Amino acid sequence: MYKTNKDILLFVFGFLLTFLFIFYSTSVLSATYRGEMTNKQTVTGTLTQTGAEEYWKIVVPSGTYRMHVVMEQGSDKKITGQDFDIYGRKGYEPTTTLYHFKGATDGRHVKGSGEDVLYTNGGIYAISAGTWYIKVRSYNGSGSYKLTVTLLGSGPATYIDETVPTLVSGEKAGGYLGGDAYRDLWKVSVPSNTSKMQVIVELGNNYSCDFDLYGLRNYHPDKPNMDYSFSSINVGSENVTVTSPAAGTWYFWVDRWTGAGDYSIKVILTPGDSATSLTAGTKYSGTLSAGQTKLFKITVPSDIKNMRTILNCGSNNFDLYAKYELKPTTSNYDWKSTNSTGEDYTFDNPNAGVWYILVKATSGSGSYDITCYLNKNTASCATQYPVILAHGMAATDKMFGVVDYFWGVKAALMNAGAPVYVTQVNCMDSTANKASQWKTQVEQILASTGKSKFNVIGHSHGAVYTRYAISNLGLGTKCASHTSIGGPHKGSAVADVLIGVLGDKGSWLVGKVMDYVYAFFIGDTQPNSLSNAQDLSRNYMINTFNPNTPNVSGVYYQTYKTKIKTITANLVLGPTKLLLDYYEGDNDGLVSVNSQLWGTDRGLYTGAWWCGGVDHIKQIGHFFGFTPGFSAPNFYKDIVADLKAKGY
């Protein structure tokens, strides 16, 4: 008998040691040792019944920081019920209770059946060198298996790049997890200048499930062994932002926690803040030498209908490249514009977030300016189709190269969300020639915007040659609406008197002088001033032009009329007003109110009660915006807002 408590404690301690020794010995004896493996070697074995075990060993050298163990079962477990597990332990054969790592799922890690474990000793320290034992145990069933152990030393592991799909920044990808599929792996290449990396996993609408997200640089994330740089385990979708991520290949593990369903994954890589910020609607000016580039960025809200970027660079050839959430290059972009000189590009429905815009001096050196407009769906002038402003005779879109014909109108419309463009034709030329020039530009605008139709607002002769192009040059099917302001649709007595007073010889001589002036000083190509005047005579417009230029079915025609009430500040129109008063009645100084009307009459505008009225020059905001009692920019904004309301 035991005399002291010490003797009793020694007896109990000895009994427990004996029990553990017998248990451990039995465990070792029950498993069959198959041999020693080498790195990346695939071995095979067979387990004959449930509970059967075989183990292998492998020598792990110093410097190894990951052990990747993959066991593939030899038959489909859905048919046989086969389910094998793996256990790993350093220095001793592992048991089901004593191990450093295990893979004991239902085969979800490998296509078909099997286990896949990436061991890193907790993801913090390198795996220790020595002899490791790997056991394969039948949790259920019998059959063959394959076992591969890959030891990862310095440098990236090569096996992970072979089958993992690559994500592109800003683009969605996705898949389905259900049944035996418990995880998907993705990867993305992160450049060195990345300021943040956002990873978004969104679940499908038709499923009830919960998927989680794990990420690790250069290697597969390993959830069981807690080897990952970040994780997101919210209920439902996941959204993680990593600031200043290290450059390299990042891997993402989408983990099926509960349920089954489809999902999407998107990575947004934001480059460093070397880009210059743009403010919507505000011009930025700078200079570039040939071959140089300048990077800009602009933040786009969620309610933007389109993003329009305008680049002016004189006679140089500067191009635009843009990409969502990533610095664009000449070969990697979401949109580009590479015309021979300046650029004007509209991109519909841009993603909300940061857009990067690259200006490249493809050829030539000099100054440039860039303006980006973000047009909201709710903007008052955000028409469905582009709005084209067509100028009249004796002028161009920019008079003397610097003075806007429609003074302040284009900027006002763009700031109100209008996709507005200004065309340019010869100052003095026949209606047919101007129409041909105009048609070419319209087709270019439609091509650059991707739209099938356009709205045109023509002033003076611009209301006439645009009608010709619509009716006679094939633009009828592409025109949504035609708005006329100050258009001489029934001709003008001013043209009649000019031609009649000068006679044939005088008209020819004056015409040639004017041709020289407009060709030399304005840049007209083969101007024809005499034809311009003849084409606007009352006899020609009423008896020749109008009968041969009928309205096109499906095009909405409308007119906004104006007149001088008392006297005009534009003194050059004083004599012509009196002439038209005598021959035709109320007028704007060059065109009578009666001749202005074509299509639906939208009313007569005379400005504030105290002003002298709205003359032909006030209609376009001149002189230089000094138009007391009348605002041309607001006038055009009202017109375009009405077109938007009508669905144009």
Banded pLDDT at 507 (limits 50, 70, 90): low
| Phi and psi torsions of 556, nearest 5° | -90, 115
Sequence-separated (6 or more) residues with CB below 8 Å from residue 3: none
Per-residue HEC secondary structure of 191-259 comes to: CCCEEEEEEEEEECCCCCEEEEEEEEECCCCECCCCECCEEECCCCCEEEEEECCCCEEEEEEEEEEEE
Banded pLDDT at 12 (limits 50, 70, 90): low
CA 569 to chain centroid, in Å, comes to 49
Q: Which of 177, 209, 198, 216 is nearest to 266 (CA)?
A: 198
Question: What is the model's pLDDT at position 16?
Answer: 56
Q: Domain coordinates of the chain in residue numbers?
A: 28-152, 159-270, 276-375, 387-645
pLDDT at 489 over 90: yes
Paired sense of beta strands 403-404 and 317-324, if any: unpaired
Instruction: Identify whether the C-beta of residue 356 lies closer than 8 Å to the C-beta of residue 613.
Output: no
Question: What is the model's pLDDT at position 151?
Answer: 80
Average pLDDT rounded to a whole number, residues 279-293: 93
Instruction: Identify whether the C-beta of residue 311 lies closer than 8 Å to the C-beta of residue 359.
Output: yes
Two tokens at 335? 């949109």
Banded pLDDT at 569 (limits 50, 70, 90): confident
pLDDT at 111 over 50: no
Tokens 């915006």 correspond to: 625
Q: Which CATH class is domain 159-270?
A: mainly beta
Per-residue HEC secondary structure of 336-396 comes to: EECCCCCEEEEEECCCCEEEEEEEEEEECCEEEEEEEEEEECCCCCCCCCCEEEECCCCCC
Contacts 24+ apart (CB under 8 A), 625-632: 625/407, 625/408, 626/569, 628/569, 630/605, 632/406, 632/407, 632/408, 632/409
Instruction: Identify whether the C-beta of residue 342 lies closer than 8 Å to the C-beta of residue 312.
Output: yes
**Cα–Cα distances in Å, from 297 out to 26, 57, 284, 357, 370?**
69, 57, 12, 6, 12
Instruction: Identify whether the C-beta of residue 459 lies closer than 8 Å to the C-beta of residue 487.
Output: yes
Q: Which CATH class is domain 276-375?
A: mainly beta
Q: Which of 544, 515, 550, 549 is nearest to 529 (CA)?
A: 515
Question: What is the model's pLDDT at position 66?
Answer: 75
**What is the model's pTM?**
0.59
Banded pLDDT at 155 (limits 50, 70, 90): very low
Lowest mean pLDDT among 87-91, 107-111, 277-281, 562-566: 107-111
Helix (H) or strand (E) segment spanning residue 496: helix 493-517
Which range has the top average pLDDT, 29-43, 98-112, 194-208, 355-369? 355-369
Question: What is the model's pLDDT at position 24?
Answer: 44
CA 312 to chain centroid, in Å, comes to 22
With vertex at residue 477, the alpha carbon angle to CA 476 and CA 479, rounded to the nearest 5 degrees, is 65
Average pLDDT rounded to a whole number, residues 308-312: 94
Which range has the top average pLDDT, 146-155, 382-391, 522-531? 382-391
Task: Tell me the C-alpha distance between 120 and 128, whole Å.
Answer: 9
Across the chain, mean pLDDT equals 85
Find residue 300's DSSP bridge partners: 353
Average pLDDT rounded to a whole number, residues 382-400: 87
Instruction: Identify whether the C-beta of residue 249 lies closer than 8 Å to the C-beta of residue 188.
Output: yes
| Phi and psi torsions of 593, nearest 5° | -60, -40
DSSP 545: I
What percentage of the chain reaches a pLDDT higher than 70?
Answer: 85
Task: Tell me the C-alpha distance between 129 and 65, whole Å.
Answer: 9
Residue-wise pLDDT tens digits, 603-642: 999 999 999 999 999 999 998 888 999 999 999 999 999 9
Sequence-separated (6 or more) residues with CB below 8 Å from residue 279: 298
Question: What is the model's pLDDT at position 637?
Answer: 96
Q: Which of 498, 444, 496 is nearest to 475 (CA)?
A: 444
**Domain 387-645 maps to which CATH number in 3.40.50.300, 3.90.550.10, 3.30.43.10, 3.40.50.1820?**
3.40.50.1820
Which range has the top average pLDDT, 103-112, 182-191, 539-548? 539-548
Q: Higher model confidence: residue 413 or residue 116? A: 413
Task: Tell me the C-alpha distance between 233 and 201, whole Å.
Answer: 11
Q: How many of the other CB atoms lie within 10 Å of CB of 264?
A: 15
pLDDT at 398 over 80: no
Q: Which CATH class is domain 28-152?
A: mainly beta
Q: Which of 386, 360, 371 is nearest to 446 (CA)?
A: 386
Question: What is the model's pLDDT at position 274?
Answer: 78
Banded pLDDT at 279 (limits 50, 70, 90): very high
Q: What is the DSSP string of 588-616?
A: SSSSBHHHH--SEEEEEE--STTS-B--T
> Given this chain, do its domains 159-270 and 276-375 carry the same CATH topology?
yes
